[in-house]
Amino acid sequence: MMRKPDPTAVKGGINGGGSSSNTNKLRKGLWSPEEDDKLINYMLTNGQGCWSDVARNAGLQRCGKSCRLRWINYLRPDLKRGAFSPQEEEVIVHLHSILGNRWSQIAARLPGRTDNEIKNFWNSTIKKRLKNLSSTPSPNASDSSNSEPNKKDVMAAAGFMSSMQEQGINFPMYMDLSSTSSTSNSSLQSMVLNQTCNSLAPVLEHDLNMFGSAAAGYFNPAAASCVTQVGVNSDNFYGENEIFGSVDNGVEREIYVPPLENIGENLKTENTYDRNINNPFNIISSSNHNIKTENLAGGGAAVGNIWLGEELKVGEWDLEDLMKLDVSSLPFLDFQS
């Protein structure tokens, strides 16, 4: 539908300019239906192996890298094609506000979607929308009494932070909201934080409620602090089938780190999370993984660390809550169609 396959588009290999010893000329450009068929048939018959072998054995005049890309982004049978739903869009904005441009990690939370697809969607659609929103502020945006921040706020916050990062302005990895006075000389920071807190609150609350427990989280930007309450059955709160977290005697909570992969070296190195796909929350059982304890008695504790995209330390809070969410399990997302 885009570029027509160009049978004359033949070049050398793409890796580092290609190897001069390669006498086979490798095709580039759009894939023809015939090439697709070859690749599909090969993959379905032989499964995935070394991609250069795939290219060779499938009789494709493509480099392995090209085959891999084509398979992953277009031919894989489990891909979900078509436009992004508003729910998916919300999840993308949500995750992007947390993960930044880690498209592969965002894609990992959206079954059937590829990183390339999400990246394109973000760059072509969402980014533009955010830009428009930030240039034409919503009349409600300044209404702090509005108890129901909307998606625009989420997107505006995400977009603002994203654009700041694009301009080379990096926020601290952790911002202690409890120490962020509303009269801070950094009005910009306050604005970002307040907007972010406002924006993420409904997302968090909504997502937590999806688990069918009494879990509810909210931010309190007016007090420049973030508060998370987790009310749960008795001792645990759950995902559909898995223990999601627990409260120990109403005092301490154990958090199971979700499979957000490679979120900073700390997490990566400290956790030996289970990659078993049947363990959607990658429950960590080692005592070494009592991530964060939180005094939940007395109406909840004010905790003020907000993660803004680069590293997540095990043991931090707030947006980490967002990270606990395996959005693929959220019933409002239709991943089946």
- Three-state secondary structure call for residue 333: coil
If one asks whether residue 124 binds DNA (CB under 7 A), the answer comes out as yes
CA–CA gap between residue 38 and residue 265 (Å, rounded): 40
Single-letter amino acid code for the residue at 84: F
Contact 193, 220 (CB under 8 A): no
Q: Which stretch binds DNA (CB under 7 A): 103-111, 147-155, 173-181, 234-242?
A: 103-111
Of 16-55, binders to DNA (CB under 7 A) are 17, 19, 27-31, 49-52
Rounded Cα–Cα distance for residues 165 and 130 (Å): 14
Residue type, 108: A
**Among the residue ranges 109-117, 181-189, 213-221, 290-298, the one whose residues contact DNA (CB under 7 A):** 109-117
Among 88, 89, 117, 326, binds DNA (CB under 7 A): 117
CA–CA gap between residue 23 and residue 37 (Å, rounded): 24
DSSP state of 222: G
Structure tokens at 333: 């997302």
Whether residue 28 contacts residue 14, with contact meaning beta carbons closer than 8 Å, is answered with yes
* Beta carbon of residue 225, minimum distance to DNA (angstroms, whole number): 31
**Residues in 247-306 at the binding interface with DNA, rule: CB under 7 A:** none
Q: How many residues bind DNA (CB under 7 A)?
A: 42
Decide whether 21 or 249 has the Cβ nearer to DNA: 21
* Residue 80 touches DNA, criterion: CB under 7 A: no
Alpha helices in 100-150 (DSSP H): 103-108, 115-121, 127-135
Minimum CB separation from DNA for residue 244, in Å?
25
Cα 28 from Cα 5, distance rounded (Å):
9
Minimum separation from the CB atom of position 49 to DNA (A) = 7
Residue 116 in contact with DNA, rule: CB under 7 A: yes
Instruction: Strands of the chain (E only): list them.
Output: 10-11, 26-27, 174-176, 215-220, 225-230, 236-238, 243-248, 252-255, 302-303, 305-307
Which of 61, 65, 310, 328 is in the footprint of DNA by CB under 7 A? 65
| Comparison of 104 and 163: residue with beta carbon closer to DNA | 104
**How near is the Cβ of 85 to DNA at its closest, in Å?**
13
Contacts of 261 (CB under 8 A, 6+ apart): 105, 108, 268
Find the shortest distance in angstroms from Cβ 37 to DNA.
Answer: 13
Alpha carbon distance 166, 110 (integer Å)? 25
Which position has the token pair 């997107």?
A: 155
The single residue among 104, 163, 178, 328 that binds DNA, judged by CB under 7 A, is 104
Selected from 61, 125, 266, 290, the binder of DNA by CB under 7 A is 125
Does the protein bind DNA through residue 2 (CB under 7 A)? yes
Enumerate binding residues for DNA (CB under 7 A).
1-4, 11, 14-15, 17, 19, 27-31, 49-52, 64-66, 68-70, 73-74, 83, 101-105, 115-117, 119-121, 123-125, 128
